[in-house]
Amino acid sequence: MPADVKIRAQVYRDPRPAQLFDRYHERVRRRPPQWPYELVRVITVWIAVALFRTEGYGAENVPNGPVIVAPNHASFLDHFFTGAFVRRHIHFMAKSQMFGRHPMSWIYSHGGVFPVRRGHHDEEAFKTAFAVLGRGGAVGMYVEGGRSRSGKLADQGKPGIGRLALESGATVVPVAILGSNRVRNWRRLRFAKVVVRYGPPLRFTPVANPSREAQQAVADEILRRIRALHTELEQAGPGRAAAVARASVLRERVGRSAGVARELDL
């Protein structure tokens, strides 16, 4: 089998000053995503469906009100795959290297994306996320942090998503994306099929100042849910993953109780 197209090495520390990103945070805190969000959605949904034959299942699991959408991360297109089947506008956290003196910074910022300054404890990113959730919005945050280089899920989640879930009390929706690690092969005119599976929502008992251990426990529980969804798709294989996801969602609908999420106390 031909080797996958190689991706550039990640830069794990952004040396630029924190003040450079203030304007991006301020815009997202003040207002929801503007017209670039829908424009980009239209373009990327067409690309996702036409080129990568992307299918999404369980999007009804993303409720109204404050919600953290938590997908696995293996491609630069995961933002778009995640948002393709959800009518809500998702404010994604993104690595700070995506912001700077280039036109896409304007698109990202006006489309609701906000930066996380890599290699630093970025409290501003959390303030922005809390502001979005505080007005009933949706935040997209990768439980693994950076992109997987192999397509395999990480062994452990990043505690930041645990902190966000515990301090906000927002609903969390785990999302498994299968096939996005092969998206880069479009350069060789090979278009992998992508399946997006939105899992049942969950909510954790709110904690004002959660310990590092509590944050990690919640992050690992979210990752465990994503891994279960992803493993189900992976074991089915690219040809049957969509059918398996469809059947799984149908079983959920039949067995769903009155509540949209159950509260967990870890």
* 154-211 tens-digit pLDDT: 889 999 999 999 999 999 999 999 988 877 766 676 778 999 999 999 999 999 999 9
Whether the per-residue pLDDT at 264 is higher than 70: the answer is no
What's the structural domain count of the chain? 1
DSSP string over 90-135: EEEEEEGGG-SSSHHHHHHHHTT-EEE-TTS--HHHHHHHHHHHHT
State the residue range of the domain holding 146: 18-254
Residues 6+ apart with CB under 8 A from 144: 72, 73, 153, 154, 157, 158, 223
Count the Cβ atoms, other than its own, within 10 Å of residue 78. 24
Residues in the chain: 266
Query: Could you tell me the CATH number of the domain that includes residue 219?
Result: 3.40.1130.10
* 65-82 tens-digit pLDDT: 999 999 999 888 899 999
1 falls within a domain: no
- Reading the block at residue 169, the tokens are 């009390």
β-strands 195-198, 171-178 pairing: antiparallel
pTM: 0.88
CA-nearest of 44, 32, 68, 29 to 163 is 68
134 falls within a domain: yes
